[in-house]
Amino acid sequence: METMNGKVAMVTGAAAGIGLACAEGFAKAGATVILVDINEPKEQAEKLNSEGYKAVSYRCDVSDTQAVKTMIDWIVTTYGRLDAAHNNAGIQTPQRPMAEITDEEFDRTVAVDLKGVWNCMRYEILQMLKQGGGAIVNTSSQGGVTGFPGQAAYIACKHAVIGLTRTAAIDYAAKGIRINAICPGVIRTPMAEELMRRNPDLEKELVRDIPAGRLGKPEEIANAVLWLCSEQASFVDGHALLVDGAFSIH
Ligand SMILES: NC(=O)c1ccc[n+]([C@@H]2O[C@H](COP(=O)([O-])OP(=O)(O)OC[C@H]3O[C@@H](n4cnc5c(N)ncnc54)[C@H](O)[C@@H]3O)[C@@H](O)[C@H]2O)c1
């Protein structure tokens, strides 16, 4: 992997799971990384600093448009630029059939999983236009290209994230801003553990359907996100990259 020395990267949902692995990946590649989460990832950033990397934590609810604008302004005032952004924060809806999902559950899922990506991209793009380029990766899901029982609101958002990614990629391709989506399969994170806790047979059922025969690791998503943000992916734009052990083509 090429170095990201001198680059400034931000990751949302960086307190745990995929976001934390991606933040660690950016830091280890040499970037200064801003770990953003609704639960401020102070200890996670401090741990990276104690290992000699450059990291800072920032508390932000990505569904809050004004808070996201303030955060991007702070990043630019503090570090001068924003080279790479991974818009990854997400929540699950309680698992039940579509008609039983409440308006409140639907609205909160859309607010975080779709509007949160929208909010972040908007202000990231405005900054990247000023500085002449950058790379953005949005976290969708294998559920962005398939259905999943009992997850209608979540799956609708993950499909929408791909649509948003593709359209924004076209809008800004000529301005040097590349925008891609990552579509993780089932990755062993606190979110997936919670789903499996609620349904103890789920892990066995999922693994049976994953041709790779196992769940993915957060680092395996981080490797793909870092590549998408690197110069090695300089002509990859508007792509939705499945990293799922062949689950969705099975
Ligand atoms: N784990 C999987 O199997 C899997 C599969 C496909 C897609 N994804 C997606 O990957 C992303 C990360 O998932 P994960 O499994 O690491 O989840 P996780 O629950 O382990 O981590 C998500 C992080 O997002 C933060 N967050 C939640 N709401 C927020 C908000 N409003 N503002 C800022 N931060 C907020 C949480 O505090 C948490 O730290 C999500 O978008 C999820 O939908 C996960």
User: Is the pLDDT score of 2 beyond 80?
Assistant: no
Q: Is the CB of 16 under 6 A from ligand 1?
A: yes
- pLDDT tens for 198-223 read 888 989 998 999 999 999 999 999 99
For a pocket test of ligand 1, which of 10, 36, 139, 189 has the largest count of ligand atoms closer than 8 A to its C-beta? 189
**Please, what is the average pLDDT of the chain?**
96
Q: What is the mean pLDDT of residues 230-241?
A: 98
**Percentage of the residues of the chain whose pLDDT score is greater than 90:** 92
**Among 94, 195, 110, 220, which residue's Cα sits nearest to residue 159?**
110
Structure tokens at 223: 């490797």
Q: Is the CB of 193 under 6 A from ligand 1?
A: no
Please say whether the beta carbons of 92 and 195 come within 8 A.
yes
Helix (H) or strand (E) holding 35: strand 32-37
Residue 172 annotated to the active site? no
66-86 burial: b if 16+ Cβ within 10 Å, else e: eebeebbeebbeebebbbbbb
pTM as predicted? 0.98
Instruction: Please report, for residues 15, 70, 150, the alpha-carbon distance to residue 204 in angstroms, rounded to integers and kept in the order given.
Output: 27, 44, 18
DSSP 233: G
- pLDDT tens for 115-139 read 999 999 999 999 999 999 999 999 9
Q: According to the model, what pLDDT value does residue 1 have?
A: 59
